[in-house]
Amino acid sequence: MKGKSPKESHTIMNELVLPNDTNTLNNLMGGRLLHWMDIAAAISAQKHCNRVVVTASVDNVSFKHSVKLGDVVTIEAKVSRAFNTSVEVRLDVWAENIPSGTRVKSNEAYYTFVALDQNGQSVSVPELIPVTIEDMVLFEGALRRRQLRLILGGKMKPDDATELKALFFGEEEK
């Protein structure tokens, strides 16, 4: 299976915030944004895997800036690391008020997807080959993020999280 660069999974999705997308304060509802982020991330993961994918996890999503009625939301997604049958996707979310010319970063997050075959069984995914310095930084941090997800999901014991232990205690604790 041939490896792929993060650029090959790069996805940009734009949405206009309409009245049906907002709460009573005319801010974009968080659930609507999470829905859009899931779609953009899934498209990115599918580009990398050439398979149908399902969402396995969503990391902590913090809302840094509210998104207003009439803003254009731009979601950028790309695969940051591939594991055996899963990929981690990094998302950056921007809110732009076109008339005023302002653009602010609203969110960033990591989503994890599992690739499936035609029978709904998990299947191996292509290796990710980081190219840029940013790609390499995201790639290196992905193993720690994965270990944290597995611990929080009860699928890994903290003592087995060698990358996380090294982060807090140094190499000698590995």
pLDDT tens profile 132-141: 999 999 999 9
Element (DSSP H or E) covering residue 43: helix 30-49
Residues 6+ apart with CB under 8 A from 79: 4, 6, 9, 44, 45, 47, 48, 87, 88, 89, 90, 128
The predicted pLDDT at position 173 comes to: 46
Residues 165, 167: Cα–Cα separation, whole Å: 5
Residue 58 domain-assigned? yes
Asked if the structure places residue 27 within a domain, the reply is: yes
- Domain CATH for 69: 3.10.129.10
Candidates 55, 40, 53; CA nearest to 123 is 53
- 37 vs 84: CA distance, rounded Å: 23
pLDDT of 165 reads 67
Global pTM reads: 0.89
Looking at the domain assignment, is residue 148 inside a domain? no
User: Domain for residue 165, yes or no?
Assistant: no
Give the structural domain span for 115: 6-130
How are the residues of the chain apportioned to helix, strand and coil, as percentages rounded to the nearest 5? 35, 35, 30
Q: Is the residue at 167 inside a domain?
A: no
Look at 97 and 153; give whichever has higher pLDDT.
97
Residue 34 placed within a domain: yes
Total domains in the fold of the chain: 1
Identity at 165, one-letter amino acid code: K
Average pLDDT along the chain: 92
- 3 state DSSP class of 50: coil
User: How do residues 20-36 score in pLDDT, each as one tens digit?
Assistant: 999 999 999 999 999 99
Could you tell me if residue 53 is inside a domain? Answer: yes
Tell me if 161 is assigned to some domain: no
